[in-house]
Amino acid sequence: MNLPETLVWLRELGAELRPGRKFDLATIALLLAGLGDPQRKFASVHIAGTNGKGSTAALIEAAARAAGWRTGLYTSPHLQRFAERIRIGADEISDRALAAAATHVRGAMERLLAEGRLTQPPAFFEVATAIGFVAFADAEIELAVVEVGMGGRLDATNVLQPLVAVITPIGMDHEAFLGPNVVTIAGEKAGIIKVGVKAVVVSPQVQEVLPVFQHRAAEMGVPFVAVSPAEAATAPATPLRGRHQRQNAAVAARVCELLGASGFPIPAEAIETGFAAVRWPGRLERICQDPGIYLDGAHNPMAARALAGFLDDHRQSHPPPILVYGSMRDKAVEEICEQLFPRAAAVVCTAPRHPRALAPAALAAACGPLAGRCETAPDYPAALAAARRLAALSTPAASIFITGSLYLVGEARDYGCGP
């Protein structure tokens, strides 16, 4: 397959979180075995959690690369292009390498289906994970930093046998699949802590989930490393915005230190150099100036609280911001809006281009009263135009924050600063 054929094939695999979807590791294990188990050809760091997984992964990979190791980075979801999920060193996977890895995976999948060893095609994320691991093996990387897609215990990435496991902060998200409270969700995330892992590094957490991770680590015989909130104050500097990124940097620094005991030394100067150079799109990312336009995928209550903290800091030296907000129907919309809408001078409710998107009128009816001023817009270009008009009402012009769904953030990155 070439790249266009690859992307069509991936789209045809369908939605991952469809009703009745059952998760297990049998399918991905069988698919990878048919590919020669590429995940065994490199060492790895495995990262689960509700928020901060991608930023923490990017920090660890950047430091390891600065230390001279051949690295791979696997994250999800993507904002604009599938290739964002798979990075070889500093770069997104090339079109040619992506098509080659996907062709290899498709061939193995079709062979296993023809032999009856697979009874149905693997799901999208299983295929994406297999492509990533094949690409890493083909590129002969030495260390992969891999973000869990959802949960941990039954996530397709949990076929790895990592050197270090990492748990970032736990909050409410994907309750239909992971459980109704933070303790059950933590139990799913704890599934990445396995016998043979050299250590598990755990971010500061709400009190009730720490025993879940401590018990699992003790049961598996894995050393437990808890990062304290105070460590954020002395973490190496990073250009990533937000108080929470200091905490992510502290966790990433501890992981880098532990990797040294596992055959991957990362000197302090490499940590500082790597962290200083890291970028992570769509997370308090400023894409325009005059007025400033920021993108942040605050798609669950914990992420909304992090953004709220940044908005509070921002308002110390700027006019109250304008918010452009859009969401999927299955998100905790009211809880998110309670955090964000009162902090804005005005809110423009819109909808990303997605079948699960919440209609702007329904969003405004549910959450508009939380805002001092609320308007609706049918799509992102119209929402940005409205936000620019509202931003110009203050002097200097207010900043604009595009937030909620990562699909909306992806559209905003595609659109750029607009006409």
- pLDDT tens per residue across span 220-229: 999 999 999 9
Strand 91-92 relative to strand 86-88, pairing: antiparallel
291 and 214, same domain (yes or no): no
How far from the centroid of its chain's Cα atoms is residue 147's Cα? 7
282: pLDDT strictly greater than 60? yes
Q: What percentage of the chain has pLDDT greater than the value 90?
A: 89
122 and 187, same domain (yes or no): yes
The reported pLDDT for the residue numbered 404 is 94
Question: Taking all residues of the chain, what is their mean pLDDT, rounded to a whole number?
Answer: 94
Q: What is the DSSP string of 279-301?
A: --TTEEEEEETTTTEEEE---SH
Structure tokens at 213: 């991770």
Q: Strand runs (DSSP E) across 41-151, as ranges?
A: 43-48, 71-74, 86-88, 91-92, 143-147
* Residues 6 or more apart in contact with residue 269 via CB below 8 angstroms: none
Per-residue pLDDT band for 120 (boundaries 50, 70, 90) equals confident
261 and 291, same domain (yes or no): no
Kindly report the number of other CB atoms within 10 A of residue 26's CB atom: 9
24: pLDDT strictly greater than 90? no
Q: What is the CATH number of the domain that holds 294?
A: 3.90.190.20
Higher pLDDT, 341 or 175: 341
Structurally, the chain folds into a number of domains equal to: 2
The answer to whether the CB of 56 falls within 8 A of the CB of 68 is no
Domain final position from 228, 256, 277: 277
* Residues listed for the chain: 419
Domain final position from 236, 261, 277: 277
Work out the average pLDDT over 8-36.
Answer: 83
Print the domain residue range for 25. 3-277
Q: What is the CATH number of the domain that holds 83?
A: 3.40.1190.10
Per-residue pLDDT band for 21 (boundaries 50, 70, 90) equals low
* Chain segment 289-299, per-residue pLDDT in tens: 989 999 999 98
Per-residue pLDDT band for 23 (boundaries 50, 70, 90) equals confident
Work out the average pLDDT over 294-314.
Answer: 93
Report how far residue 188's alpha carbon sits from residue 181's, in angstroms, rounded to the nearest whole number: 11
240 and 389, same domain (yes or no): no
Per-residue pLDDT band for 22 (boundaries 50, 70, 90) equals low
18: pLDDT strictly greater than 70? no
186 and 305, same domain (yes or no): no
